[in-house]
Amino acid sequence: SGGPEDMPAEIWEKVKNHPCYSEEAHHHYARMHVAVAPACNIQCNYCNRKYDCANESRPGVVSERLTPEQASKKVLAVASTIPQMTVLGIAGPGDPLANPGKTFETFRLISEVAPDIKLCLSTNGLALPDWVDEIAKYKVDHVTITINMIDPEVGQHIYPWIFWENKRLQGYEAAKILTERQLLGLEMLTERGILAKINSVMIPGINDKHLVEVNKAVKSRGAFLHNIMPLISAPEHGTVFGLNGQRGPTAQELKALQDECEGDMNMMRHCRQCRADAVGLLGEDRSAEFTTDKIMAME
């Protein structure tokens, strides 16, 4: 996976310099995340809100939260130090689209000072249909949606609640709305030509068998990559799954599922589950060089 032979030419053109989508590019191009989005509108049983959003980030990490202005200064500071900086993502620490004011203000500021930097964001998808036009307006070309189920019977074991239209909803009803919104959001991105990657967290005994169905559903709606990640639920993280003794998949179980989905579409196997404030080439983390106090000192 991760090469031109796997993708239609027009998609390869768009992703070949993107460190997260091309296995080749991730050695040569750098990306950074800015943690400007603290709130979240759902609860996942594998997430402890003390840490960054576990959908896109390595569990147990707390990123430094920035205002949009601090984020834009940080992007300039990083871009002048790391010339391979090509991609700026917002992936937390909560859900970027549960913080639309901060997220889109950050994109607006960055597109003014650094118009060549590609923008991306990740989301749980609940609010996505409401923001697709705004996403298109800022020319965000890559969106990651975490989709762990397409069946609310499965979903009710993963999501204890969602916050939707000013109400907290639970159980089957919550999971049904979440899956409808995720798939609608994916279709709307595809209609507008915005690349959509899907993340799924593999949870043995809960959604492991079901993810083959998820893979078909997202492929048929135009997702160009599917990234199946292992549940990491160490008890010390204090997540519902961690406290209940829910285990993550073994490496063999993960590979078997990825192989089963492989015939259907591009699978992504090099994701490092980076921090929400990651900086640098994938596999290297230079976030400690770019804390707010250091950036302010550079001015």
Task: Tell whether residue 137 is a contact of ligand SF4 (CB under 6 A).
Answer: no
Q: At what angle do helices 251-262 and 211-220 cross, to 10 degrees?
A: 40
For ligand SF4, give the closer residue by CB, 243 or 296. Answer: 243
Size of the site for ligand SF4 (CB under 6 A): 19
| Choices 52-60, 130-138, 160-168, 236-244 (CB under 6 A): range interacting with ligand SF4 | 52-60
For ligand SF4, give the closer residue by CB, 188 or 232. Answer: 232
| Choices 49-57, 101-109, 233-241, 247-255 (CB under 6 A): range interacting with ligand SF4 | 49-57
Could you say which of 20, 34, 127, 198 contacts ligand SF4 (CB under 6 A)? 20
| Choices 8-16, 50-58, 70-78, 99-107 (CB under 6 A): range interacting with ligand SF4 | 50-58
Could you say which of 149, 274, 279, 281 contacts ligand SF4 (CB under 6 A)? 274
Nearest to 197 by CA among 263, 142, 253: 142
Query: Binding marks (x or -) toward ligand SF4, 209..248, rule CB under 6 A?
Result: ----------------------------------------
Could you say which of 25, 34, 42, 261 contacts ligand SF4 (CB under 6 A)? 42
DSSP string, the chain: --SGGGS-HHHHHHHTT-TTT-TTGGGT-EEEE-B-B---SEE-TT--TTSS-TTTS-TT--PPB--HHHHHHHHHHHHHH-TTEEEEEE--BS-GGGSHHHHHHHHHHHHHH-TTSEEEEEE-STTHHHHHHHHHHTT--EEEEE---S-HHHHTTT-SEEEETTEEEEHHHHHHHHHHHHHHHHHHHHHTT-EEEEEEEE-TTTTTTTHHHHHHHHHHTT--EEEEEE----GGG--HHHHTTPPPPPHHHHHHHHHHHHTTS-B--------TT-EESTT---GGGG-HHHHHHH-
Task: Tell whether residue 272 is a contact of ligand SF4 (CB under 6 A).
Answer: yes
For ligand SF4, give the closer residue by CB, 225 or 257. Answer: 225
Task: Tell whether residue 50 is a contact of ligand SF4 (CB under 6 A).
Answer: no
Shortest distance, CB of residue 32 to ligand SF4, whole angstroms?
A: 9
Could you say which of 43, 148, 207, 246 contacts ligand SF4 (CB under 6 A)? 43
Shortest distance, CB of residue 55 to ligand SF4, whole angstroms?
A: 4
Partner residues linked to 230 by β-bridges: 202
Interface positions, 87-116, toward ligand SF4 (CB under 6 A): 94-95
Shortest distance, CB of residue 118 to ligand SF4, whole angstroms?
A: 12
Greatest alpha-carbon span in the chain: 53
- Dig out the tokens for 266 from the structure: 């591009």
Binding region for ligand SF4 (CB under 6 A) = 20, 31, 40, 42-44, 47, 53-56, 94-95, 124, 271-274, 282
